[in-house]
Amino acid sequence: MCKYGIINNDDEGGKIIAKGTNCDITTYGINDANICASGIVAQSTGVEFTCLGQKIKLGIPGKFSVYNALAAIGICSKLDVSLPVIASALKKANGVKGRVEVVPTERDFTILIDYAHTPDGLKNVLQSVRAFAEGRVVVLFGCGGDRDTGKRPQMGKIAGELADFCIVTSDNPRTEEPAAIIRDILAGMKEATAEYIVLENRRSAIEYAIKHAKPKDVIVLAGKGHETYQILANKTIHFDEREVVAEVLSIR
């Protein structure tokens, strides 16, 4: 029903969609597509690549950022926006709050905040980080209370397999006992090989991660993302991880 279609050619679902339409299709992908990314350089602060002869720089880390940028290039090209203008705009894009968000530290390590609070979400962000991390991948995470208990050991196992060091802490415990939630997570952690520590208080956990950071480490604070609060048994408190990081860094 569309005049134009911008399709991810590296995705099997995208290929199925492309076959089922008669509109003008433009494909994008890493290698085999109308719009490709070459010379990809993945860093903790973003990605760089070349597309159609134009250097592209985006300040959002992760391979998914390459695909998102290619999709934007495809769409804008159909709207007659020139490639240099697209490149300039992408360079200024800061991403979405709490989605692989780079927290300024001015230190020799990187801190990312991500909303990953499901097994799939945690797996995706840690795989993305592993692709560019030069040092250790350190993940700090917990699981929400009064929610699906089955995902807790799954997330523990995923973290233990994809991270080099794990800090297990609280998320939004709600009416559940935080220690009980953590025990469920540890059941999966013990199936993996990564070293880990348990610090129930989330602020203390963040402080530990920062104070024990090594050069080139990438620390992922997973689960809270854009949230600026923490839901406890009898109250909701203000809790912004960006503020906590800034406070800890000021006294480190």
Per-residue pLDDT of the chain (252 residues; tens, 9 = 90+): 899 999 999 999 999 999 989 999 999 999 899 999 999 999 988 999 999 999 999 999 999 999 999 999 999 999 999 999 999 999 999 889 999 999 999 999 999 999 999 999 999 999 999 999 999 999 999 999 999 999 999 999 999 999 999 999 999 999 999 999 999 999 999 999 999 999 999 999 999 999 999 999 999 999 999 999 999 999 999 999 999 999 999 976
- Residue 94 is predicted with a pLDDT of 85
pLDDT at 81: 98
Cα 73 vs. chain centroid, distance in angstroms? 22
| CATH class as words, domain 101-251 | alpha beta
Q: Considering just the CA atoms, what is the radius of gyration of the chain in Å?
A: 20
Where do the structural domains in the chain lie, given as residue ranges?
4-92, 101-251
Report, at the CATH architecture level, how domain 4-92 is classified: 3-Layer(aba) Sandwich (3.40)
Q: What is the pLDDT of residue 20?
A: 87
Q: Choose among 105, 65, 141: nearest CA to 216.
A: 105
Helical axes 83-92 vs 63-78, angle rounded to 10°:
140
pLDDT, position 252: 60
Counting Cβ atoms within 10 Å, is residue 133 exposed (0-12), middle (13-18) or buried (19+)? buried
**Cβ neighbour number for residue 134 with a 10 Å cutoff:** 11
